[in-house]
Structure 1
């Protein structure tokens, strides 16, 4: 930090198991990645190349190299996994992870229909190769799971080998754990936290009010995902209580 402010919340230091900031890269250029790393790399724990953008991203090798040199793990979005699974390309997907020397993979079923038992088998298989992050919840706004179902799915995926489970919200923040207005489904979150350890969950929270809500609920070291590159430093100030939205919360 550039100077001292007393009595701020303690932030877990990198590499972190909690307090994670996962950033969504939806198509940054190499120059934009360099600028992002210069400004916000120190506060970023991992980067997701959103959905299947890695398929069409120019200079993918160079982009991954930039993140690697900055010490920021990268993984491909879960929709890529789904796109290959539905086409019978699981082995191709595994080879893809090796080709790009990725240490993480996301397993999701937000756009395809597979049994949860089958999803857990994919998690177990991939966990032998990489660190697995699995996503719970549908991208379909019409599919609303009861709290007990979220808990059941999360528990099973952690037992199958997931390092973290992601609570689905999409990059827009209006499905899954949120209503279509972006408002948090508070009862759902409270119920989940009675059964699933907070350290095991990454809450997708692309909107500032969502970030504020989770910081006030869990604390400065809540793990948040789908953060826009330009929002990383603003989020860090929210975590530390040096922005008006959380200012009084940490005094």
Structure 2
């Protein structure tokens, strides 16, 4: 830090197991990646190349190298996994992971319908060779799961080999753990936290109000995902209580 301020909440140090910030890259150029790394690499833990943008992104190899050289793990969004699974291309998907020397992957079923046992089997297979992050929840605003089902699915995926489970919200923050207005489904989150260790969950929280809510509930070291590159510095100030939204929360 540039100078000292007393009594700020203690942040976990990188490489972190909790207090993660997962950044959503929806198609940054190489120059934008370089600019992001200059300002945000120290506060970022994972980079997700959103949904299947890796299929159409120019200079993919160069982009991956920039992130990896900066010490930032990268993975392809879960929709790529789904797009290939639904077409019977699991082996091709594995070859893509190998080709780009990916160390992480995301297993999700937010856009397709598969048996959960089948999803867990994919997690088991992939976790033998790569770190798996799995996502629970649907991208369909009409599909609302009861809390017990979220808990059951998360537990099963952790047992199958997921390193972390993501609570679905999309990049818009209006499905899954949120109402279509963006408001947190507080009862759902409270129920999940009675059964699932909070350090195993990455809460997708693209909106500032959502980030503030989770920081106030869990603390500075809550793991948050789908953060826009431009929001990395603002989010870190929220975590430290040096922005008005969380300013009083961390004062002793």
- Does residue 1:125 correspond to 2:125, yes or no? yes
Measure how far apart 1:152 and its partner are: 0.2
CA distance in structure 2 between the partners assigned to 1:184 and 1:16 by the alignment: 25
Mapping 1:139-218, distance limit 5 Å: 139-218=139-218
- Does residue 1:63 correspond to 2:63, yes or no? yes
SS at structure 2 position matched to 1:165:
strand
CA distance in structure 1 between the partners assigned to 2:129 and 2:87 by the alignment: 21
Measure how far apart 1:109 and its partner are: 0.2
Q: TM-score, normalised by structure 1?
A: 1.00
Aligned partner of 1:39 in structure 2 is 39
Measure how far apart 1:186 and its partner are: 0.1
Over the aligned positions, Cα root-mean-square deviation in angstroms equals 0.2
> Structure 1 segments of 4 or more deviating over 4 A?
none
SS at structure 2 position matched to 1:244:
coil
Q: TM-score, normalised by structure 2?
A: 0.99
CA distance in structure 2 between the partners assigned to 1:43 and 1:34 by the alignment: 15
Measure how far apart 1:129 and its partner are: 1.1
CA distance in structure 2 between the partners assigned to 1:129 and 1:82 by the alignment: 19
Aligned partner of 1:53 in structure 2 is 53
Number of aligned pairs? Answer: 251
- Does residue 1:27 correspond to 2:38, yes or no? no
In structure 1, the gaps of 5 or more residues are: none
CA distance in structure 1 between the partners assigned to 2:79 and 2:190 by the alignment: 28
CA distance in structure 2 between the partners assigned to 1:40 and 1:99 by the alignment: 27
1:19-76: CA deviation from partner (whole Å, max 9, x where unpaired): 0000000000000000000001110001000000000000000000000000000000
